[in-house]
Amino acid sequence: MSYIIAEIGFNHEGDFDTAVKMIKSAASAGTNAVKFQTYRASDIALPSSPHYNAIKCGEMNLKQHKELFNIAYDLGIDFVSTPFSPWAVELLETVGVPAYKVASMDCTNRHLLRYIAKTKKSIYLSTGMATLKEIAESLEFLKNEKSGPVKLLHCVSMYPAKVEHLNLATIKLLNQIFNIPVGYSDHYPGTKACLFAAMLGAEIIETHFTLDSSIKGGDHFHSVDPISFKKLVSDIDLFYKMIGTRQSILDRPDRKYAKEYRRGLFVAKDLPRGHFLKEEDILSCRPVSELSPNDLEWLEGQILNQEMSAYEPLQKCLIK
């Protein structure tokens, strides 16, 4: 089963009660974790930037982080976050998060990666905009820094991403090249890309979460609402039940029906002793008998050593 992360990000827009409601709603929908973004707006953009004003409202302090962490903990789900500065890493260490998500914009940011590596916590490294060379270099850097275990997230840093740009085959490619777990961080509207990513082997599925995708601003417009999120979790769970394992063929549940569903060989009509069997004398139908359709060729021309009634099963002992 894929590990599913509901990315709340800054969709709470600084409203603590909304953040609480979103955690509870995501937990009820079946998520494994909720993910926030920990920052001061100045960590990300200049005050003169339109983006600065858009994200400023989403700032949260240490007390709020701790309270949200405890709410998630009580609900049995993980609370993780994306730090955008060393300050944010220190705050999240105080909170006690079990893992860190590295945003695509910081995939190659060794200064921040070094601070995260020191925590020895698990890292979800998002790969949006990064080349294979850059991904390899960041992984090597984290290895040299003796970081915690790293998992890659295939991501397309477009909001929203277009269907022709998703390139979900990259999930398997990254796994083959780097031989570490690979997941998918989604920016495509709806849940289909996430479901297909899980079917392609994504071990982690992260998708933006909102209480209402019609809300203006933030990431709401390409986020998944509680009803859709719950269906996504259900669909992924159903897929994993369907796919089974390679060992399932060795203990298949339908094997017991072979005798009932496969064919045997029966005489189609009353036949006298000494009759030379022809194809039209033989019925190939259910249920299984001593002889099977694979015996038809050698049966033609064989002689019956006793008379037979219609629909009796043919047996080797009845052939001369």
**Domains, in order of start, for the chain:** 3-244 (3.20.20.70), 255-318 (3.90.1210.10)
With 80 as the cut, is the pLDDT of residue 217 above it? no
pLDDT tens figures, 128-143: 999 999 999 999 999 9
CA distance 31 to 102: 20
What pLDDT does residue 113 have?
A: 98
What is the Cα–Cα distance from 79 to 6, expressed in whole angstroms?
10
Give the Cα separation of 2 and 131 in Å (integer): 25
Confidence of residue 56 (pLDDT cuts 50, 70, 90): very high
pLDDT reported for residue 283: 98
Question: Taking the model in full, what pTM does it have?
Answer: 0.88
- Following DSSP, what letter does each residue of 249-273 receive, concatenated? GGG-TTGGGHHHHS-EEEESS-B-T
Sign of the C-alpha dihedral computed for residues 205, 210, 214 and 217 taken in this order = negative
Q: How far, CA to CA in Å, does 164 sit from each of 160, 161, 168, 173, 193?
A: 12, 8, 10, 17, 11
pLDDT of 194 > 90? The answer is yes
pLDDT of residue 179: 98
At 283, phi and psi to the nearest 5?
Answer: -100, 135
Q: What is the pLDDT of residues 88-129, one digit of tens each?
A: 999 999 999 999 999 999 999 999 999 999 999 999 999 999
pLDDT band at 222 (very low <50, low <70, confident <90, very high): confident
Q: How do residues 245-300 score in pLDDT, each as one tens digit?
A: 877 788 888 999 999 999 999 999 999 999 999 999 999 999 999 999 999 999 99
pLDDT the model gives residue 218: 66
